A and B are shown apart, each in its own frame.
Chain A
Amino acid sequence: MNPQTPIRLLPLLLKATLLFVLLNFAFIFLGGFPLGKLSLYNKIFPGRERFPFGENQRGYNLSLFNLDAMFAAHVLAGSPKAGDEFRVLLIGDSSVWGTLLTPEQNLAGQLNSQNISACGKTVHAYNLGYPYISLLQELMILDEALQYQPDLVVWLTTLESFPQDKQLAAPLVANSPERVKELITKYQLPLDPNDPALNHPTAWDRTLIGRRKEIADLIRLQLYGAMWASTGVDQFYPESYEPAQLDYEKDNEFHAIKPAETLQGKLSFEILDAGMNAASVPTILVNEPILISNGVNSDIRYNFFYPRWAFDEYRAALAEHAAAQGYPYVDLWDLAPMTEFTNSGVHLTPFGESMLAEQVGASIQNFCK
């Protein structure tokens, strides 16, 4: 090349642009490749005790919408089932995941520390809880988890998971339209696969540029594997937090439903049924503990989430439904005093969690003596 050749910018830029466009759109054809299954967890780094979730870098954790990657990072995916293992999967929301609790303090950790046995085998509980409350999200996780040979599923739930308007709103659900479509077909759910709440990716979203955040998140997840391995920290624990609200407005509506109306027909029992009948694996249904406040207007509301009338009606309906369907059902709604809740009406303290673990542990043992 002659060093004195004047630069011809236009052809250079055109060639660069063409190459970039080709590379970018070639990525669309990789769309079906399960990138999330490529993981260093359970190979180089130990699997996580719970799903990755969080937006605080100090917790060495992040939220992503790739269920493959979430499972690939989980210890469950890297734990071959031992002959004497009684494998229990815990499904639920942030109260099961363990907001503000270490892996040892949350329900799975406390159950495992009890060293209990069922059916003559040692119980090993796996935390498959995930923050955000939606039955459909829990069904999605359960459906994926069934491939890991559970002996028993314990599904902890609460009224806030049931409203129909919440089912597609969970970010994990909204960003997994293909999985939702599969679930709708598989379990004959009364949901619309083309619901605008679902984020259907455009062609551009499937290009390299369109998927840049997803790819960056997957890489970050792997890097945080090193942090998880070296520190055992998977959540940011603030020195202080705002405690759950105890005083309330004089508001007795639940999801815009007034006391004069009924919850009937507005809760997604069909999604619950799909999960309970998802496979031949037995499932215990647990109505999880909630905060029962004695503060201002606590005669109207139990807590921030629930007016008393709505929760009472839900409890009765759930008990009736479980009995009618023959579901093993445990109602632990008033198990813990309000002092054993942390920053939400469903998040327990370590001691509150031990109370719950004792009850759930007993249910597991009783299930198969």
Chain B
Amino acid sequence: MGLNQIGASILTALLVGLWTRGAARGVFLLALSALALFWFQPAIPLRSFDFWIPSLSIFLVVIVWFITSTAGAWKSRQNIIGLAVIIGVVALVDLTRYIFPDPILTTTTPPRLIVVVGFFALAAFAIAAFTALSRRFAFTLTLVIILLVAILLILKSPNLSLQLSVFFRALTNRPLDTASALDLRWLGFSYISFRLIHVLRDKQTGRLPELSLPEFAAYVVFFPSLSAGPIDRAERFAGDLRAEFRLTQDETLLAGQRIVVGLFKKFVIADTLALVALNDSLAAQVHIPGWMWFHLYAYAFQIYFDFSGYTDIAIGVARLVGVKLPENFTSPYTKPNLAQFWNSWHITLTQWIRAYFFNPFNRWIRGYKSLPAWTMLLAGQLATMLIIGLWHGVTINFIFWGAWHGLGLFLQNRWSDFAKTRFAVSNPHMQTVLRLGGVALTFHFVALGWVFFALSAPALSFETLMKLFGIH
């Protein structure tokens, strides 16, 4: 998101917070979030894809709501309004084609109305079919989860994305030689898919409360947290929407403070650090270990300030409309061990993975009673961190990054178990020293892991690690 989009988001949120009451707030947030999907969507060199991708996001949201809500829920007044708003927004975005000479909500001209009407008809058929299927076969929900994971896998895999881009280019008579893995940038899909999977899994386990369509759709594509999270929980989000809300002076100032801090973190600190942060070119050009550490530290702080800055902005903007998004970062670089680091870095992702992967995986592996306890722990930590790595991108380097943290968590766990019975320290000064040592060690472990995150190729990453220690 650029400054213009953030500015518009703040202003819009302020107006919604000031002038909407009750159920209207949810409907307004849905309409604005759906519009933001189109407006925030980056340009794509495939004709009208900047219209179709947001439309598909909306379609996925609606289909998941239909298959997770109770039969006939759509007939309620609130849900019919929600459906009308969604259709209205997509139609409105498309109609800009006929009203304005240049596109205003999309980067390219939207498709012709007749094509969009066809899309609505197909979408209605698919929704009806999936809803009917889901009422008869429980596996429908699993099928949709698999579909979402498959899309995520394709989007996160450079090779698969490239192949898909080539396919679409061939289909639309576009030149194939300029195809790129970046052609299919689907705004916020990493977050949208995880929110949808959370809802689907909770439905399967019977923990999902009934949500109206406006609540559900606003939750999934909530505009402040569309591009960089956090990953809220649906029932918590809906609770905020249902609560009476009035934008007070205190609330506005708190939100404003958070937004200003976020803007400063992102656009002053992070963007400045980006000029000197480790990247592929620097990794090849720098040969002095001290300078390599400097660039690595710059990267470590850049990624933190960038991500946490966006989160602050999202939390602040959401606060203006009465939504208290969960915290995503709580001073992660000041934590004395890796487990605490992961409890304070991208917290909502970690909690999601814990709830929907780590815990089920642990329950499953404990079924193999012949396995030693440490292997179960190692498998759980490794698999979890590999999933987090792959969520960032299906590349060898993200696998190394995930494995680095998985092994780190395992070793830290073993060491803690070993040390707590042998090295009890009662001296408070010594405790402080140990804590500071732990913070420094954890930070450097995390920073070394960033080498895999910042660079694109394993060979360059290992070479950089060696340079850091003066070996190369």
Contacts and interface: CB of A to CB of B under 8 A. Distances in A.
Interface in A1-34: 1, 3-9
Contacts, number: 49
Interface in B268-299: 272, 275-276, 281-282, 285-286, 288, 291-292, 294-295
A230 B247 contact: no
B251 interface: yes
Interface stretch (A122-130, A216-224, A327-335): A216-224
Highest count of chain A CB atoms <10 Å: which of B247, B248, B272, B295:
B248
Nearest to A4: B248
A231 interface: yes
Q: Number of contact residues on A: which range applies?
A: 20 to 34
Nearest to A233: B285
B205 interface: no
B299 to A, nearest CB: 13
Interface in A187-239: 219-220, 223-224, 226-227, 229-231, 233
B272 A219 contact: yes
Contacts of A227: 275-276, 282
A5 B275 contact: no
A1 B250 CA distance: 7
B252 interface: yes
A220 B272 CA distance: 8
B248 A6 contact: yes
Interface in B233-269: 246-252
Contact of B275 (A3, A6, A220): A220
Nearest to A227: B276
Contacts of A223: 272, 275-276
A7 B272 contact: no
B81 to A, nearest CB: 28
B18 interface: yes
A217 to B, nearest CB: 12
B272 A231 contact: no
Interface string B368-395: 0000000000000000000000000000
Nearest to B295: A230
Given A58-B281, A220-B275, A230 B286 contact: yes
Contacts of B272: 219, 223
A219 B294 CA distance: 18
A57 B275 CA distance: 8
A365 B249 CA distance: 77
Contacts of A220: 275
Contact of A6 (B249, B285, B291): B249
Contact of B252 (A4, A7, A219, A229): A7
B1 to A, nearest CB: 20
Given A220-B275, A226-B294, A3 B286 contact: no
Contacts of B285: 230-231, 233
Contacts of B247: 7
A226 B278 CA distance: 12
Interface of B: 18, 246-252, 272, 275-276, 281-282, 285-286, 288, 291-292, 294-295
12 contacts: A1-B249, A3-B250, A7-B18, A7-B247, A223-B272, A223-B275, A227-B282, A230-B286, A230-B291, A230-B294, A231-B282, A233-B285
